[in-house]
Amino acid sequence: MSDVVNVDYSTRIPNNVGLTEDRQVLRALEGWHPGYLSWWKDMGPEGFQESLVYLRTAISVDTQGWAKFDYVRMPDYRWGVLLAPREEGRKVNFGAHLGEPAWQEAPGEYRAMLRRLIVIQGDTEPASVEQQRHLGKTAPSLYDMRNLFQVNVEEGRHLWAMVYLLHKYFGRDGREEADQLLQRRSGDKDKPRMLGAFNEATPDWLSFFMFTFFTDRDGKMQLESLAQSGFDPLSRTCRFMLTEEAHHMFVGESGVGRVIERTAQAMRAAGVEDPGETARVRALGVIDLPTLQKKLNLHYSLSLDLFGSEVSTNSANFFNSGLKGRFRESKIADDHRLTDATYPVLKLVDGAITLVDEPALTALNMRLRDDYTQDCAKGVERWNRILEKSGVAFRLRLPHVAFNRAIGQFSRAHADPDGQILSDAQWAQARGAHLPSTEDGDFIASLMAAETRPGRFASWIASPKAGIDNKPGDFEYVKIENS
């Protein structure tokens, strides 16, 4: 464990924001660091804190520095403050301030709104670490264990990224918010994390892979939108976070893909043709495809809730004020003000799901959610190609956006995965067919036994196509005996 009293912070925190000369912020971060480490110890990965993990550490944002691989004990990981390089002459690219120089300080009139956006983004990062803290003990391989820990330390770094902005640009209330980010806890009754999906459990590795596919992808969409921000330090921070985020989604997509591949292999080898014969498939020690679909339904619908209400004045204000743009705003060919534009929004009208044109400004959450759905659909297609190649007669699909929602238009109704509105009684009956039941969870849990021999994988998941950092198949990604 590092000696937090005598840490040389100017070298300890890799940064490209001139921390050594910025005494005030350096002191604020020094003050925050012990609390962070104690949070990491209490709420970070359970066990393995003294193990040597083959991790990628970002020490600068250039191609040489952003992916340095080496063995590191997680508490000694160098959580850096790294922003994408400043673009000379960058402007506000959308909203009422379109064309004005981007802000290098928090704009006074939007300070509270901006702080809230940063705090919400910051809150999700430690939340996901808390949700995943038990998983190390049941890792299906050292390769997967290493990927879990990589995701965890980087979510920690993303928290640092937001805390830096709070300390640097928001003075005393920023410091208070930074402290509170270490106080809330995922799933806690009294001090929950801010957004719904971040208070759900991540009970097993299939959930972890689904989470990194679906929920980290919400992260990607939100970060892409914040990367457009007229508040330049937020934009630069998010741009660099996105480079790390790509690996998280790779972990999710390839993780689920490997589960599918293994199930298909086992079914073929045993001559099981009907994917609906779940008992026979489960007896092979793999996860049956209908259960996989249920997990997908759950994680997709929880992640849709993270986009907020379809029609939202908050989202209009975020955009108008130049703080949060659309997905890849600068590549969209329109006026970037949206004062007269409309956007079709799916709404519940007289009990029926109907497309209604709404002012584009208030429909920005819906638009981002649509972009997200398209991005998810491409991944699902790639999963289905694995099934197709294996000759298994089953296809995964995204459920309708009205399915299982707790936020927005459809939180007031029940719908099945096809978007048929159901009565309470119909939903009570149908629920078990579309969402994981306790029994499904118990079955998955029964497969979750750790496989810690280098190069070996649990029965329910195929090996990856390539190692991390081009390492060979039997590479010891985590040296557990060091614990």
Residues 355-374 that bind ligand BYC (CB under 6 A): 365
Q: Interface with ligand BYC by CB under 6 A: which range of 69-77, 84-92, 94-102, 214-222?
A: 214-222
Q: Does 43 bind ligand BYC (CB under 6 A)?
A: no
Q: What residue type is assigned to position 43 of the chain?
A: M
Q: Interface with ligand BYC by CB under 6 A: which range of 67-75, 107-115, 178-186, 215-223?
A: 215-223
Q: Does 196 bind ligand BYC (CB under 6 A)?
A: yes
Q: Does 314 bind ligand BYC (CB under 6 A)?
A: yes
Which tokens in the block code for residue 292? 């996989």
DSSP secondary structure string, 274-316?
-TT-HHHHHTTTS--HHHHHHHHHHHHHHHHGGG--SS-HHHH
Q: Which is nearer to ligand BYC, 10 or 411 (CB)?
A: 411
Asked if 106 and 170 touch (Cβ cutoff 8 Å), the reply is yes
Q: Interface with ligand BYC by CB under 6 A: which range of 93-101, 303-311, 371-379, 428-436?
A: 303-311
Q: Interface with ligand BYC by CB under 6 A: which range of 124-132, 351-359, 376-384, 414-422?
A: 124-132
How far is residue 238's CA from residue 122's CA, in Å, rounded to a whole number? 11
Residues 136-175 that bind ligand BYC (CB under 6 A): 155
Burial of 86 per CB tally in 10 Å (0-12, 13-18, 19+) = middle
Number of chain positions touching ligand BYC (CB under 6 A): 25
Q: Which is nearer to ligand BYC, 102 or 368 (CB)?
A: 368
User: Which x/- pattern over 431-470 shows residues binding ligand BYC (rule: CB under 6 A)?
Assistant: ----------------------------------------
Q: Does 177 bind ligand BYC (CB under 6 A)?
A: no
Query: Least distance from C-beta 122 to ligand BYC, angstroms?
Result: 9
169 DSSP 8-state letter = H
Question: How far is Cα of residue 29 from the mean position of the Cα atoms in its chain?
Answer: 25
Element (H, E) at 131: helix 111-131
How far is residue 288's CA from residue 291's CA, in Å, rounded to a whole number? 6
Query: Least distance from C-beta 452 to ligand BYC, angstroms?
Result: 25
Asked if 222 and 264 touch (Cβ cutoff 8 Å), the reply is no
Roughly what angle, to the nearest 10 degrees, separates helices 205-226 and 142-169?
30
Q: What residue type is assigned to position 182 of the chain?
A: L
How far is residue 382's CA from residue 393's CA, in Å, rounded to a whole number? 15
Q: Does 216 bind ligand BYC (CB under 6 A)?
A: yes
Query: Least distance from C-beta 197 to ligand BYC, angstroms?
Result: 6
Token match 């809730």: residue?
305
Q: Which of 15, 16, 93, 124 binds ligand BYC (CB under 6 A)?
A: 124
The residues binding ligand BYC (CB under 6 A) are 117, 120-121, 124-125, 128, 155, 195-196, 215-216, 218-219, 222, 305-309, 312, 314-315, 324, 365, 407
